[in-house]
Amino acid sequence: MMVAQVNTTGLRGELRFDEPMSKHTSWRVGGPADNYYLPQDLDDATNFLARLPDDMPVYWIGLGSNLLVRDGGIRGAVIATGGLLNKMNMIDENTLRSEAGVSSARVARFSVEHDLTGGEFLAGIPGTIGGALAMNAGAFGGETWNVVYAVDVITKKGNIKQRMASEFEVGYRRVKTFDNEWFAAGYFRLENNKSIDGKALIKKLLKKRGESQPTQLPNAGSVFKNPEGDHSARLIEVSGLKGTSVGGASVSELHANFIINNGNAMAADIENLIYEVQLQVKKQHAITLEPEVRIIGEAR
């Protein structure tokens, strides 16, 4: 099958063809992306977007957490932001701006270094600010959009504009975005409070995360959203599904809402295990668990 590839003339970043997504996802699975672009900066990313065919699908990836790429890979273009769109600065004494490729944990550390509090929970989100904005990621009782003041978005035509937080419809692990727009940066308004030891709080939160989650094994964070009034992990555990395996993928024995790659899993194994967990929880509790992870690409 012929795949559409992008002309690299005039681009400052690196464009890779047929790039294995297993190298770029925290589950360590996924087939090849037709076009995988590593922009030098935000201006370079806009230049890349502006030259894409109108009908070419575009995907953005940060650290590859909360993402399952199927074994057949991705048709279209993938723009990698993690560690690349990485500028961060203070706007005023209470507001910081972070580009999409900055890790959420780095934003948490940056905030406490500037005597700001309210963003410590970001240290528990295993991804970038772009991903946190896209899904209203949360940890330890905090949610991203609770501290968002405004965002910069980038359009498929390669334009950047600012939108206020009030323009978006936000809910639990969901954000209704505008068509053909992606988050380029976020503006976070936090409290200035020198009496709170933010560094100690982050250390405490990360210790709790390390004790309760299988952070040493390839995973994508929480797989399912919590149903109203309950927790997915509890439902999965009481359904007797801890340790359940499909191929090289297993439900974690440590935290039931995590699926781990035991070293040889295919994306299909993980996806089939997701469906099996949904089936069993539905059968036993009449509750349909909704995936929190995003599943993209083509099956092999």
C-alpha of 64 from chain center: 6
User: How far, in Å, CA of 36 to CA of 290, rounded?
Assistant: 29
Decide if 175 contacts 169 (C-beta within 8 A): yes
User: How far, in Å, CA of 137 to CA of 124, rounded?
Assistant: 10
C-alpha of 96 from chain center: 20
C-alpha of 43 from chain center: 22
| Cα dist from 134 to 60, 95, 281, whole Å | 10, 20, 27
User: How far, in Å, CA of 198 to CA of 112, rounded?
Assistant: 5
Checking DSSP bridges between strand 74-80 and strand 58-61, what pairing results, if any?
parallel
**Catalytic annotation, residues:** 173, 222, 292
